[in-house]
Amino acid sequence: MEKELILENINKKYDDGSLILKNINLKLSGNIRLSILGPSGSGKTTLLRLIAGLESPDSGNIIFDDQLMNNYPAHKRNFGMMFQDFALFPHLNVFNNIAFGLKMKKMKKAQINSRVNEMLLMTDLDGFAHRSINELSGGEQQRVALARTLAPNPGLLMLDEPLSSLDKVLRKHLLLEITKIISKLNIITIFVTHDHEEAFAAGDIVIIMKNGSIEQQGTPEQLIQTPKNQWVKDFLGA
């Protein structure tokens, strides 16, 4: 059965009372790839953190697979999230970083071994298992982060600006690799970025956010051909 993610009337305030997210409604299902695009401060990362369970909404519902997720803590959601700074564990080597989520699930050692090796192969990291995190290049760290996120078979995958800490040449190359890997997954993928080229490459559907609300939603072609207003047009043109 296809799993559905539904966001209903999500609102979130800053400590000072101003709104970060205003009345967000969204419905995703199957293996759709969504890109959330917007300038910094538009609320896109906050939206991601609400879905992940790292923060909770002030009002509204987050429903996944027919279950209300609002009061589920992050560690019980089985969602995968890849962080902007990768957030790799500096005290663990590549193998143990990837194995972390599996260990939390109390998987057997043999199973962990085979799953980690599978991930290493998929991300082109075979031979890196016992490297220390500090010895890796930016691109390698990014692949470890992706492998770590995918290892526990998440029910939903989120990527928060996964390319922003890399240089321009590497970014193009790795964008291709990432989109290739996530296209093969059979889950909902949410890709957050401020770069429209990345958003169009990684998403079947793109939502453009501005000041905490969804400005426009559509396929990349729709957005390019019929931007809703001048702001969207300028933003995509930039």
Partner 1 sequence: MDRYNTLTTFKKYFHPYALVGIVPAIFFLIFYFYPLSGIFIKSFLSEEFANNQHSNFGFLKQIFSSTRTLKIVWFTFWQAGVSTLLTLLCALPCAFVFSHYAFKGKKLIKTLSSIPFVLPAIVVATAFQACFGETDSPLILILLAHVFYNFSVMLRIITGFWSSLQGSIKEAAMALGANPLQVFLHVTLPLLKPAILAASTLVFIFCFSSFGIILILGGPYYSTIETEIYRQAAHIFNLPLASFLSLIQIVFTFFLMWIYTLFTKKAAKFVPDAEKANLKKPDRLLDKIVITATIIFIVSLCVLPLLALVVKSLTYNGEVSLIFYWALFENQTDSIFYIPPFHAIKFSLFFAGAALIIALVTGLCAALFIRFCDTNIDNKLTSFFDPIFMLPLSTSAVTLGFGIIITLDKPPLNLRTSIFLIPIAHALVGFPFVLRSILPALRSIPGNISDAASVLGASPWKIFKNIDFPLISKALVAGAIFAFTISLGEFGATIFTARPETPTIPIAIYRFLGQPGAINYGQAMAISTILMLVTAIGFVCIENFRPDNSEGF
Residues that bind partner 1 (CB under 8 A): 15, 52-54, 73-76, 78-81, 83-85, 87-91, 100-101, 103-105, 134, 148-149, 152
Taking the complex as a whole, the smallest distance from the CB of residue 232 to partner 1 amounts, in Å, to 29
| Nearer residue to partner 1 within complex by CB, 149 or 193 | 149
74 versus 121: smaller Cβ distance to partner 1: 74
- Beta carbon of residue 138, minimum distance to partner 1 (angstroms, whole number): 12
With tokens 């905490």, the residue in question is: 212
The least CB distance from residue 87 to partner 1, in Å, is 4
Nearer to partner 1, 151 or 208 (CB): 151
Could you give the CA distance from residue 92 to residue 145 in angstroms, rounded to a whole number? 13
Give the residue with the Cβ less far from partner 1, 109 or 173: 109
Q: Strand, helix or coil at 19?
A: strand
Alpha helix stretches (DSSP H) within 123-237: 138-150, 168-183, 196-202, 220-225, 230-237
Supply 56's token pair. Answer: 């909770």
Helices (H), 44-202: 44-52, 94-104, 109-122, 138-150, 168-183, 196-202
Tell the smallest beta-carbon distance from residue 76 to partner 1 (Å).
Answer: 8
Q: Using the minimum distance from each CB to partner 1, give the nearer residue, 79 or 235.
A: 79
Question: Taking a C-beta distance cutoff of 8 angstroms, is the pair 167, 155 a contact?
Answer: no
Pairing verdict, β 59-64 and 4-13: antiparallel
Cβ proximity of 54 and 62 under 8 Å? no
The least distance separating partner 1 from the CB of residue 17, rounded to whole angstroms, comes to 13
